[in-house]
Amino acid sequence: MEHYDMIVIGSGPAGQKAAIAAAKLGHRAAVIERRDMVGGVCINTGTVPSKTLREAVIYLSGMNQRELYGQSYRVKEDITVADLSARTQHVIGREIDVIRNQLARNHVHLVVGTGRFVDPHTVEVVGEDGVHRELTADKIVIAVGTRPARPASVEFDGSTIVDSDQILGIEQVPGSMVVVGAGVIGIEYASMFAALGTRVTVVEKRPTMLDFCDKEVIEALQYQLRDRAVTFRFSESVKEVQRHPAGTLTVLESGKRIPADTVLYSAGRQGVTDRLNIGAAGLTSSDRGRVEVNEHFQTEVDHIYAVGDVIGFPALAATAMEQGRRATYHAFGEPVGSKLGDLQPIGIYTIPEISYVGRTEDQLTAENVPFEVGVARYRELARGAIIGDSYGMLKLLVHGESRELLGVHVFGTNATELVHIGQTVMGCGGTVDYLVDAVFNYPTLAESYKVAALDAVNKIRAVAKVTGSGEFRPLPE
């Protein structure tokens, strides 16, 4: 029996950071993971392969250059799956190597196999060779992540009817595709295939999509996708997905039948707690396989923590990493600083991409917070014209009285990078005046912050001018 200060089950972003944090605090840590999954869903089937594919789609389709060189511009005419996946295995391999090296140099033991609880302090690991070994620990972190939900009414075959793990292995770029579920995964893939010229139909049971984002941004995304021949079927539920010799048929509850070469079923994910035997640890999981935790990521059994996708929203890699670090610090009594608050950015890698931090207009309105909106359009920035992005925009939500930044919403080129400027200002308690007074490099997209800040301040000033309040500062002549 081997004893550790901490055992982590799962080597995705959450598990890695939990284990390395333990090692950095001087504790003996082990990570349990299956041989072919080092790095988790993030590296092997989720974030990294999908974002590598996206880069290939953007480059080979030439779509980002079309405003500059014409709508017929392509880098390659017949794009094959081999072209698209050429870089993927290389990037995955490189990332796995980095993770293995980081664990090794921090003396974190990587124990290969599948873990299951024997009792609250003991985890049995079953290797691929069938060999069992038992590990014990003072602290245990559950970081087992999720897998695609696969209902029995869908005839998955791995080639024409696929989940988001299998989509990476399809043999050709389909002429038509149904995407079931307009969640982040569904819409990211819908936008990639639409960019390749696939006729995509998205079926979503809710009346809208990505409704946690800014409404105007989602409308802009829908406009762009419709322009690329994406059809949306909102408020429609999929009853079954059938496989026929001539293709697939998606049958909706409303009676509609949609034929397509390929179906991507991306209607949610299930926590991987079913084979963990968590009952032996004194724990339970929800019907979606999720484990409940408190603000310190502690389960109802004090020395067992759960982090990452297995605890649910927001289910993002960056958040998972931070949850892992914080869980370990709490477990070993190390101070962690302020609570993991509202300033976690959301990045959605659709084409074009979306990112935001803070609150939305709808949330602020519901909370009766007075705010002004400052907008900058990329088409009015020199950098926007240079790169040929005429649709991009950045929107700042600013408190009408205190002038604090309450939210930053970005749509278009580099949105997922740009958002961090606003996040930093917000995190440091800055106001819109910092952005008004700052000088940004020119020509850049970052300049959009200054343009949007001036727009917001002008609107605040207009209100002050009417009300005659002390906030009124006349514009310079």
Using CB under 6 A as the criterion, which residues of the chain lie in contact with ligand FAD when the complex forms? 9-15, 32-34, 37, 40-42, 46-47, 50-51, 114-115, 143-146, 164, 185, 272, 275-276, 308-310, 315-318, 320, 347, 349
Q: What track of x and - describes contact with ligand NAD for positions 232 through 271 (by CB under 6 A)?
A: -----xx---------------------------xxxx--
* 219 versus 367: smaller Cβ distance to ligand NAD: 219
The two tokens of residue 33 are: 């993971």
CA atoms within 13 A on the CB side of 435: 33
**Helix, strand or coil for residue 436?**
helix
The two tokens of residue 298 are: 């502690």
Give the residue ranges of DSSP H helices in 155-310: 184-195, 215-227
Q: Is 21 in the site for ligand NAD (CB under 6 A)?
A: no
**Binding residue ranges for FAD:** 51, 115, 309
Q: How far apart are CA 88 and CA 123, in angstroms?
A: 34
**Binding residue ranges for NAD(+):** 181-188, 204, 268
Is the distance from CB of 146 to CB of 269 less than 8 angstroms?
Answer: yes
Compute the least distance from the CB of residue 412 to ligand NAD, in Å.
Answer: 16
Compute the least distance from the CB of residue 317 to ligand NAD, in Å.
Answer: 7
Q: What track of x and - describes contact with ligand NAD for positions 315 through 354 (by CB under 6 A)?
A: xx------------------------------xxx-----
Helix (H), strand (E) at residue 373: strand 371-377
Q: Is 387 in the site for ligand NAD (CB under 6 A)?
A: no
Compute the least distance from the CB of residue 189 to ligand NAD, in Å.
Answer: 9
In the list ligand FAD, ligand NAD, none, the entry touching 182 (Cβ below 5 to 8 angstroms by class) is: ligand NAD
| Binding-site member from 5, 124, 188, 372 for ligand NAD (CB under 6 A) | 188
Q: Which range binds ligand NAD by CB under 6 A, 199-207, 383-391, 392-400, 417-425?
A: 199-207
Is the distance from CB of 148 to CB of 164 less than 8 angstroms?
Answer: yes
| Binding-site member from 186, 289, 352, 412 for ligand NAD (CB under 6 A) | 186
In the list ligand NAD, ligand FAD, none, the entry touching 267 (Cβ below 5 to 8 angstroms by class) is: ligand NAD
Is the distance from CB of 239 to CB of 252 less than 8 angstroms?
Answer: yes
Q: How far apart are CA 82 and CA 173, in angstroms?
A: 10
Q: How far apart are CA 429 and CA 412, in angstroms?
A: 26
Size of the site for ligand NAD (CB under 6 A): 24
C-alpha distances (whole Å) from 351 to each of 69, 226, 459 are: 19, 12, 31
CA atoms within 13 A on the CB side of 40: 29
Strand ranges, E, within 219-345: 231-234, 238-244, 247-252, 257-260, 262-265, 269-271, 304-306
Q: Is 206 in the site for ligand NAD (CB under 6 A)?
A: yes
* 167 versus 364: smaller Cβ distance to ligand FAD: 167
Place of tokens 């000033």: 461
Is the distance from CB of 414 to CB of 431 less than 8 angstroms?
Answer: no
* 122 versus 262: smaller Cβ distance to ligand NAD: 262
Place of tokens 């953007």: 58
* 348 versus 396: smaller Cβ distance to ligand FAD: 348
In the list ligand NAD, ligand FAD, none, the entry touching 224 (Cβ below 5 to 8 angstroms by class) is: none
Chain residues that interact with ligand NAD, rule: CB under 6 A = 180-186, 188, 203-206, 237-238, 266-269, 314-316, 347-349
